[in-house]
């Protein structure tokens, strides 16, 4: 039996209905691709759908860095160990598809910055501005208030008192498994609003925000620096060797919270069990196995 689970980010979600619609559409496209083309095409279709939807923090509508530019991270990984990632990538519509090209067309695992952009252009990806007016407004409010979520040192440097600013952030991701047990994972993000230019989070790093092995596949969302520090996706997949995905992810979300890591995780283990967990206020997600479909 095939399975697919996706997430649209964890944290404080204001536009719940828009998130639900976006998750529903991405899940539908991913499931169709899973049945007709396999796990890799499934996770790419789901993530591309979310990269096209400005309600999510990835692709079009990504968060802006401190210089009001978009720099995106993305990666894709298969259970046979194949991996491709991009970091601090600018001016493309679908960073997840560039990550796929890194996996399939190069001898490298990760390309970043200007090198990643040059590679994307060589691969035929057209120029595209992923920034939106809403993301610019959010950043300006955060800078004015001196409250950049998850960036306390930068916030202090602004020399202003913090206030309650809405935290609109969240990586997106997808995990798919086919009838033969092949697993694919894709993760994409615009990163943290107000980050320093050149910042790289967990999403493009194998074992941090994305990982797949013979034991399972996992995509993470949340505070990238802490997810990277804890190598959450790798820990989760290793744990699936002996426990089910729901057990492992619940245990890890609790453990991560005790280490000061706000996060969410989705995954599928080698047995076909679907799991999700988060220690934040909420997380948007959806999953299906063809018989049962759940949104949020």
As annotated, the active-site residues are: 171
Nearest-CA neighbor of 232 among 205, 214, 268?
205
Q: List phi, psi (to 5°) of 282.
A: -160, 170
Question: Exposure pattern of 89-109 as b/e (b: 16+ CB <10 Å)?
Answer: bbbbbbbbbbbbbbbeeeeeb
Nearest-CA neighbor of 192 among 150, 233, 152, 130?
150
> Can you give the chain as a three-state secondary structure string?
CCEEEEEEEEECCCCHHHHHHHHHHHHHHHHHHHHHHCHHHHHHHHHHHHHCCCCCCCCCCCCCCCCCCCCEEEEEEECCCCEEEEEEECCCCCHHHHHHHHHHHCCCCEEEHHHHHHHHHHCCCCCCCCCCHHHHHHHHHHHHHCCCCCCHHHHHHCCCCCCCCCCCCCCEEEEEECCCCCEEEEEEECCCCCCCCCCCCCCCCECCCEEEECCEEEEEEECHHHHHHHCHHHHHHHHCCCCCHHHHHHHHHHHHHHCCCCEEEEEEECCCCEEEEECCCEEEEEEECCCCEEEC
Per-residue tokens: 279: 């220690």
């Amino acid at each position: 039996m095939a399975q697919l689970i996706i997430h649209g980010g964890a944290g404080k979600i204001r536009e719940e209905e828009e998130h639900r619609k976006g998750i529903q559409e991405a899940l539908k496209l991913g499931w169709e691709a899973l049945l007709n083309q396999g796990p890799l095409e499934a996770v790419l279709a789901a993530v591309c759908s979310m990269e096209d939807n400005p309600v999510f923090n990835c692709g079009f509508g990504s968060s802006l860095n401190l210089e009001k530019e978009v720099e995106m991270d993305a990666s894709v990984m298969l259970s046979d160990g194949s991996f491709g990632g991009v970091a601090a990538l600018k001016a493309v519509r679908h960073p997840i598809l560039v990550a796929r090209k890194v996996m399939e067309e190069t001898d490298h695992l990760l390309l970043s910055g200007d090198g990643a952009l040059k590679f994307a252009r060589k691969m035929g990806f057209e120029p595209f501005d992923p920034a939106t007016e809403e993301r610019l407004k959010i950043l300006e409010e955060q800078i004015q208030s001196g409250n950049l979520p998850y960036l306390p040192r930068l916030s202090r440097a602004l020399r202003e008192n913090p206030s309650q600013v809405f935290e609109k952030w969240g990586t997106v991701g997808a995990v798919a498994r086919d009838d033969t047990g092949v697993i694919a994972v894709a993760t994409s993000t615009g990163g943290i609003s107000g980050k320093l230019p050149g910042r790289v989070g967990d999403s493009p790093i194998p074992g941090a925000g994305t990982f797949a092995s013979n034991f399972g596949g996992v995509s993470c969302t949340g505070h990238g620096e802490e997810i990277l520090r804890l190598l959450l996706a790798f820990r989760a997949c290793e744990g699936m060797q002996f426990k089910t995905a729901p057990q492992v992810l619940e245990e890890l979300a609790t453990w991560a919270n005790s280490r000061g890591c706000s996060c969410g995780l989705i995954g599928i283990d080698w047995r076909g069990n679907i799991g999700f967990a988060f220690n934040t206020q909420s997380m948007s997600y959806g999953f299906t196995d063809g018989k049962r479909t759940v949104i949020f």
